[in-house]
Amino acid sequence: MTEKSEPCPSIKCPSTIPSDPEISESEPTISPIESVKNLTTHMLNILSFNIEGLTSNLVYLYKLIKRSDIILLQEHWLYSHEKDNLYSNFIDFNCHIKCFDDGIIDDVVDRKRAHAGVAICVNNKYSPYLEKLPDGSNRIAAIRLNFEVPLVIISVYLPSRSINYSRDDYLSVLDELIEIVTKYRDSANILIGGDMNASIFRNHPRDNDFKNFLRNNNLRIPDNCVECSTFYHFNNRDESQIDYFIQNFDIINTYCTYSRESANTSTHDPIMVSVIIKASDKPNAIPKSKHLQRINWNKIDKCEYQRLMELNLQSKVTEIDNLSIENFDEFVFSACEIITQTADSLQPPKSRKRGCGDKREHQIN
C-alpha cells in the first residue's frame, strides 16, 4: 500500500499555504512563456536537503522519498566511483549526480575524505520529460524538465564560511549560477534550491553577496518563505536560515520546512515547495546531440587542408569589420562549419570490410 505524503510540520515554522493553489492574494509575476495545447495539470513536490552524508542519513532519506517527486541533495559525500550508491537507494528515481572528485585521476588512496557533492533525483514518472544539463561545476547540478513550459531545476551547494574557502570562492559559484540563469531564463522557468551558506536575514559580507545576486538577476525567494532556522550548529547555540528555494517567476505555491524531525541526523532541515506544472501526455522531444565522425588527421593531407582553409575562409575575413553582438554567434557557427566541412572533404573513403561472401568468391577464383 502506498504511504500518503506527510504534511509539512508547521508548529515551529508555519508556512503560508493558500487554500486554493491556483489563487494568490497578491498579483504574481507570471511567466511570459505561454501554453496553447490540451494539457494535464500536475502538482510537483520538490524537496531540497543538505543530507550531510548519504550513508549516515539513509533512514530519514527513505522517509523524504515518500514525500517528494523531485529531491535536490547537497553534501552527499560520495566519491565519483560511488555514484551507483545513489541509484541503489533511489530505485524509482532518475538521478543526475556531481561529486567533488569528478575529473580527478589521482589514485583513490591519495584522495581526501569524500565531501560536498550535489544531486537531483527525479521520480521515474517524470523521466520522459527529463534532460540532464551539463552546466556547472561539481557544486551545481542542473536539469530541464521539458513540460509545455520548460522548468530548469538547479541544486547548489555554495562554499561555507571557513578557512578553506574565501569570499572569492563563494562569488565564483554565484558567477556560475548567473551564467546558467542567463542561458535559460528566456526559454524556461527557473527554480534553484540548496544550501546557500548565506541568509537574507543577516548582513555579513556573504549574506550581502547573496542578496545582491538575487537582486541583480531578478530572482526572488517566495513571500511564503518565513524566517525559520534550517541549520543548527554542532555547538548547540548557533542557528540560522541558510537553505532556500529561489525562483525567477512566481511559480512556487507552497513552501515549508521540516523542522528537527527525530530521524534526521543532519544539522540541516529539509525544505519543500510545491509547483503546479502543465504537461502533455506526449513529452516534448529532447534534442539529441548530433554524432560527429572523428577526423583521422593521420590520413589527411595537411598541406592541402591548409590551402583549402585559406581559400574557404576568405569570405569570412571580409565579414570581420561588420561584426556585432547580434551576428557574432552566427559568424562563429559558420566559421566552425567551414572548418569541419573542409576536414571532412579530405578524409579518405571508408574501405568496405570483406564479408564471408567475399572470402568464398576469392577462394573460388
Q: Could you please report the per-residue DSSP string of 61-92?
A: HHHHHTT-SEEEEE-----GGGTHHHHHH-TT
User: Angle 291-333-303 (CA atoms, 0-180°, nearest 5)?
Assistant: 80
Q: Which residues contact 120 (CB under 8 A, 6 or more apart)?
A: 70, 71, 72, 73, 95, 96, 141, 142, 143, 153, 155
pLDDT band of residue 19 (cuts 50, 70, 90) is: very low
Question: Is-contact 204 197, C-beta < 8 A?
Answer: no
pLDDT band of residue 50 (cuts 50, 70, 90) is: very high
Percent of the chain with pLDDT over 70: 78
In one-letter notation, the amino acid at residue 159 is: P
Q: Strand 252-257 vs strand 40-50: parallel, antiparallel, or unpaired?
A: unpaired
pLDDT exceeds cutoff 80 at 318: no
For 7, 190, 228, the CA distances from 11, given in Å and listed in that order, are 12, 30, 11
Select the more confidently predicted residue: 209 or 348. 209
Q: Strand 40-50 vs strand 70-74: parallel, antiparallel, or unpaired?
A: parallel
pTM (two decimals): 0.71
Question: Is-contact 62 121, C-beta < 8 A?
Answer: no
Average pLDDT of the chain?
83
Question: Half-sphere exposure of residue 170, counting CA atoms within 13 Å on the CB side?
Answer: 22
Select the more confidently predicted residue: 40 or 21. 40
**SS3 state at 329:** helix
Count of C-beta atoms within a 10 Å radius of residue 42: 14
Select the more confidently predicted residue: 24 or 110. 110
45 strand-pairing partners: 274
CA distance 95 to 86: 8
Of 15-29, 193-207, 232-246, 262-276, the one with minimum mean pLDDT is: 15-29
User: Angle 356-358-363 (CA atoms, 0-180°, nearest 5)?
Assistant: 95
Of 11-15, 93-97, 251-255, 271-275, the one with minimum mean pLDDT is: 11-15
pLDDT exceeds cutoff 50 at 356: no
Count of C-beta atoms within a 10 Å radius of residue 58: 15
